[in-house]
Chain A
Amino acid sequence: VSFEEFVAARLPALLRYAVVLTGDRHLAEDLVQDVLISAHRRWKRIAATDRPDQYVFRMVTNAYLSWRRRWSTRTILLVEPPERAADEQADRPDQSELWLRLARLPRQQRAALVLRYYEGLSVAETADVLGCAPATVRSNTSRALAALRVEPTFAYDQGEHR
């Protein structure tokens, strides 16, 4: 697959992932743009891997984890998150609170949560993307869930990886 074909096919998904990861539209744009320009430099090597999409996905995650904190006024000045639509409040009264707590998580914990609960990756796959041990993923996920006051499922309590 050529770099141009890859960008055409995968850019929307990468932007969606980046915005969930960062919680900021502009930061997500910058992140994905930087990563793809950087990926272009070594595209031959990336295209030769089994899963170029997974490689770039990992690059986006690593870039997020290593990026210095940037302007965040825009996010913080929202008095409450915009997801508080009336129809959502009725059946999910705690969503705005959850969103605020999510924004405060340390990056490693947030990345672990997004990979596990948004991307649906297993603990082993999440560890692979984050470049850490599965035990670290479990520990980060557990701490993040506690901070968010999310009740883990029985399967998770038992150490089920998926």
Chain B
Amino acid sequence: MITEDDLRASLRALERLAPDPAPVAARIAAGVRTQGRRRTAVMVAAAAATAVAVAVPIGMLGRDTGPTAGPATAAPAPATTSPVPARRSPLTVPFTVGWVPAGWRAGLTETRLDGDRRTYEGPRSTDQLLVDVQFGKRSAGTGVTRTIENLGTVVVRGSPDETVQRRVLASVRPADERLTFPFRLTWVPAGYLPVAAYSGLRHWIGDAAGNLNAATPALADSSLSFDSRRTLPGRLYIGVSSQSDQLAMQGLTPNGTFLGRPSRYTDKAGFAVLIVYGLRGADLSITADTRGRPELTRAALERIMAGLRVAADPGDPATWTADPLP
């Protein structure tokens, strides 16, 4: 039985994830300054109460109308209020980012049924820039935003200041790009379809003590998520990692063998996890949220793992599964 002291210790352990206050403080200060400018602009508009108010910078009056404030040099794409398009395949990222600050590198690219994300990592472990395209209702939160026709609401946030965020935002353009996944799945449980995926590089990786360390070379990482219903974020994750000691760094050491390789299987609190280390040149993991899904047994996870084959074309989703993808 778990005790209340265990609970307190678990909660305290989460403190280690707490972000560095300095960049947050800088963004708060920037946000406060922007707020002051917006208030001034609204007051000017109210006082004029005529067509003269049109001269008030639009970008100061609302967040969704375009990155007009700040010294961004790239011209923003035309803003629009057209309805957000319906989501298509979850395996294509529909936008590119044309500019990020010097020294920043592309990290993971993620795509789901309800949106997409490109991640950029900076020179320090705490530097991160997130560029999201969201479908449907836009969530609350910070960052600079604009709506792009035939794309959706684009949100840029992260540790760089607002001027940099707006410049990044201005460089976003619609353009399809497929993710990559190095394996072909010859079997998944009946009715399970991809609902999310990511691929890319991790330049910083966490260890068991909660520290972030530079990954040299960068860790190539990719994942496909499946579910039998169109729910997010999916119940079945199949992950591939190129750096064989990454999982060991997280304290996930082998407790058995599978297909002649060291492996680890755990089934706790409704999460079943099968990891095989160094199989076909990578660490492979399958995580299943088994609540209410009796079909996601250990045998099922092992069958998926045993059925993985090298994909003919990692950039072509048609080669990732035996059945056609939606």
Contact = CB atoms under 8 A, between A and B. Distances in A.
B49 interface: no
Contacts, number: 181
Contacts of A28: 17-19
B145 interface: no
Interface in A46-104: 67-73, 76-77, 79-80, 82-86, 88-89, 92, 94-102, 104
A30 interface: yes
Contacts of B215: none
Interface in A1-50: 3, 7-8, 11-12, 15-16, 19-20, 23-26, 28-30, 32-34, 36-37, 40-41
Contacts of A104: 270
A80 B6 contact: no
Interface in B15-33: 15-19, 21, 24-25, 27-28, 31-32
List the 8 shortest-distance A-B pairs measured between CB atoms, nearest first.
A37-B31, A118-B11, A85-B208, A100-B269, A84-B251, A151-B1, A83-B13, A11-B21
18 contacts: A11-B24, A26-B19, A30-B157, A37-B28, A37-B35, A83-B13, A83-B210, A85-B209, A98-B6, A100-B269, A101-B269, A148-B2, A148-B7, A149-B1, A150-B4, A151-B1, A151-B4, A156-B4
Interface of B: 1-4, 6-19, 21, 24-25, 27-28, 31-32, 35, 110, 112, 115, 117, 128, 130, 132, 137, 139-143, 157, 196, 198, 206-210, 223, 225, 233, 237, 239, 247, 250-252, 266, 268-271, 273, 275, 285, 287
